[in-house]
Chain A
Amino acid sequence: MPTGGAVEQVREKAELIDGEGLRRAVTRIAHEIIERNGGGENLVLVGIKRRGYPIAQRIAERIREFEGIGLPVGALDITLYRDDLQTISHQPVVSGTDIPCDIDGKTVVLIDDVLYTGRTVRAALDELIDLGRPKSIQLAVIVDRGHREIPIRADFIGKNVPTSKREVIMVKVQEIDGQDGVSIGEMLG
């Protein structure tokens, strides 16, 4: 598991999903969220920084298009809830959490780019529960790559990708990376 001790060198091997494919995955997840919850009543979308947040905004945009409702979209920075802060030598940069509404009694859909060990989601759940008392929390991810270390599963998945631990999944979004898509790479050295 990468510990944040150093930035790994990564060689990109193949593109798994192109920009169009990412758009379709986001659209499908948006429909599934509305279907599962019987509409958008009481829903709040919360993206885990950094890449979960632009994905959450896109899901909200899709829902606005086909359902005609604007859902609140929040951003969660889980840095202060990480379980490895004590084992890395450099404190990660914190960029702040911004949830635009009260989450008490709401159904929160937590959104991230990749689901891997589950530790990021664990941290996000802890932070959400400190922020309020949602009625329920669901999880949506673009890629589930396996290798869970704690018992967490996603409710909405764009694509299941079997990986080895030496591989890296890179979800790219226009807002941060200048392009859309998902590719698989390999750690060097």
Chain B
Amino acid sequence: MNTSPPRALIAEDEPLLALALQQLLGQLWPQLHIEARVADGISAVQQALTRLPDLLFLDIRMPGQTGLEAAAEIADAWPEEQALPAIVFVTAYDQYALAAFEACAMDYVLKPVQAARLGQTVQRLQQWWQQRQPAQGTDLAMQNHRQLERLLGLQQQLLGQVPAALQIIQASVGNQIHMVRVQDISYLEAADKYLRVLTASQEYLIRTPLKDLLPQLDAREFWQIHRGTVVRAQAIASAQRDESGRLSLLLRDRPEKLAVSRLYATRFKAM
């Protein structure tokens, strides 16, 4: 059994709603300790990674970055020897996100939060908390793996909503516009305000942020492998794991070795 009480973090930008969620959780689950309340997506990541709570309640629309983006960043940077936190998303109205949650069996709560509905979530979380304690060693790795897979699934569900259409990337070079065919791209890498587009022999800089470009690319062809890296699946030669368990990719037409972050590493397994 767990000896210490579970600890939670609430990320919600509207002060009244954050307070109310904390109070309601206090009634429904008195043992739960709300460790911190934050009001934006950036502090959510910072606080989660310093406090390492067991539970995360994330609003989807927040200043800084969305709850979904925050969740991906937290999962990526979470220490490997620790079990990942359970994530519950809180949202007022996001049609696409709702369908995605249902598909991935991630829990979510709709605003206005109602006690009965939150009660069901709390029950589910309590069960999860009971079962979590014995998890050690391989079990822990297994559990984390499963949770990462769900989070990745959620992300792909959400990206899959927009029909992929982009065939050509228009990149300006001096006073010319180069038309880069997507099938010539090896990988895309976010760099500050720019996005680097790399083909076998060329490198271009475009100003469209990766998160805006990604939904326009065919998700079966372009795989995200890191928060700031997307690689064309056919350009990958092999994936290899080093002694510390970190996964990296070798490319067919380029010398670089690309690091795969934890969240996306679940995608690489032998058939």
A binds B: no
Binding site for B on A (CB under 8 A): none
